[in-house]
Structure 1
Amino acid sequence: MHTVEVENLTVAYQKKPVLTNVNFTVPEGKLIGIIGPNGAGKSTLIKAILGLIPKACGEIKIYGKTYRAKDKIVGYVPQRGSVDWDFPTNALDVVLMGRYGHVGWFKRPGKRDTEIALESLRKVGMEEYANRQISQLSGGQQQRVFLARALAQDALVYFMDEPFVGVDAATERAIIVLLNELKEQGKTVLVVHHDLQTVREYFDHVILLNVNMIAAGPTEEAFTMENLHHTYGGKLAFLNKSQVMVEQK
């Protein structure tokens, strides 16, 4: 059984297609990079899978079943820029929100939930900031808190929308270590990612997207020069066989 199955997915905003006839499957226990230029529909893909935006047509299954928002098997880390960081709450409370799927929205988290939340903060190096207001944290620290919230969910599948954007090198290394730990536990992680030079290092599989799906599969098979040209058009600069970047024009 595949972890995620997407069949004939089309999403449109005001009748303008944002994703068209997207098809792919995701194997279990892998790190999957979702790659493509700005406006390619990468964030839209994640939101459509999670039911956060409507789809025009298509079928989406997670572990063979239609996903429901209340299911506990999925964790989600949104783009940092989409979060109201001025909301008056501390880091621990943000992470505890990841436990609501287990305890219910109308029950207070118990001692065990707090222990799990603190352990999640420890794993991302943020335990000492548990009582710090989130508005007082740096961008990298805020991202680590959201990763901790996803960890506290104890999900089987994780969707992360640009977790490396706006973080320092130390935070990026901490994140990729954490993602590999999740993989070793048999978890599946799908990550929207922009840095083409780290794709081969970070991901087992890739999904190349530009409104239409260009390719999907193991990184060594799908992340090719030909597929990158189809995905980015003439905006690519190849430094050598292992280094590729998007030209800013």
Structure 2
Amino acid sequence: MRHSPLVVSNMSVAYQKKPVLRNVTFEAPEGKLIGIVGPNGAGKSTLIKAALGLIPRLAGDVTIYGKPYKDQRMLVGYVPQRESVDWDFPTNALDVVMMGRYGHLGWFKRPGTEEKRIALECLAKVGMTDYADRQISQLSGGQQQRIFLARALAQDAQLYFMDEPFVGVDAATEKAIITLLGELKRQGKTVLVVHHDLATVKEYFDWVMLLNVHIIEFGPTETVFTKPNLQRTYGGKLTILDRDDEPILIQSR
């Protein structure tokens, strides 16, 4: 029996006794690009961090291919929000990407020629080969994001979590990310992406989760990403301009 990449059951999280996620239950299908969408404070980033055990859960279970995350770390890649990273750490782009190989090496084996080859290959896939020796503090925001994507690629995971990878990036980086997501999908990987630009949801994602403390809807984008569901998710915080009853532009009030 083949297990699903990610199963979350009755997961709840609170910060200082305030519920941030309540009874979140879902099963992520294999080989899909999944957008996680909702208003500010809806718990989108919290969902990823709680699933990975980076923050404590009040309740609930999470399994990755049928086992707890601690037993399946090798199968999981994580791209955090760019602002959560210490970019002043004295290291270059190539070394950051090679960090993605450490799980394959074990604690005491140093990365060698093969790890460097893989890291350079991943840098090439995100268009950053020429920046391999550049200190990460000297890179632009978009370039830093691409380096972290390359690190996740180098890990060669089966399940990826990406927390707002499109925020604050230039058009070239956004295109590089989309190309990368397409490649991961072709390889049969499962990718969950916290995303804020509702205008691109239909273009980018096969499935979508509408989240506001609890899951409003979760499923194929064409059936879930509808005007009534968006209004349920965002309440009165949105103006929806539509054409032929299809949401095309959403603006915060």
The match for 1:132 is 134
The ranges of structure 1 where at least 4 consecutive aligned residues each deviate by more than 3 angstroms after the TM superposition are none
Q: Secondary structure at the match of 1:121?
A: helix
Give the distance between the partners of 2:147 and 2:39, measured in 1 at CA.
27
Q: Deviations over 1:140-177 (max 9, x none)?
A: 00000000000000000000000000001111011011
In the TM superposition, what are the counterparts of 1:159-198 in structure 2 within 5 Å? 159-198=161-200
The match for 1:245 is 250
Alignment match of 2:24 (pick from 10, 13, 22): 22
Comparing 14-23 and 68-77, the one that deviates more: 68-77
The match for 2:12 is 10
Comparing 154-163 and 230-239, the one that deviates more: 230-239
* Fraction of identical pairs, as percent: 71
Q: Deviations over 1:51-83 (max 9, x none)?
A: 111100001111111111762000000000000
Comparing 122-131 and 99-108, the one that deviates more: 99-108
Letter of the 2:249 counterpart: V
Q: Deviations over 1:185-213 (max 9, x none)?
A: 00000000000000000000011111111
Comparing 16-25 and 65-74, the one that deviates more: 65-74
The match for 1:44 is 46
Aligned-residue offset at 1:106: 3.0
Letter of the 1:219 counterpart: T
Q: Which runs of 5+ in 1 are unaligned?
A: none
The match for 2:64 is 62
Asked if 2 retains the 8 angstrom alpha-carbon contact of 1:88 and 1:133, the reply is: yes
Aligned-residue offset at 1:222: 1.2
The match for 2:223 is 221
- 2:99 pairs with 1:116: no
Q: Which runs of 5+ in 2 are unaligned?
A: none
TM-score by length of 2: 0.95
Letter of the 1:22 counterpart: V
Give the distance between the partners of 1:45 and 1:84, measured in 2 at CA.
22
Aligned-residue offset at 1:47: 0.4
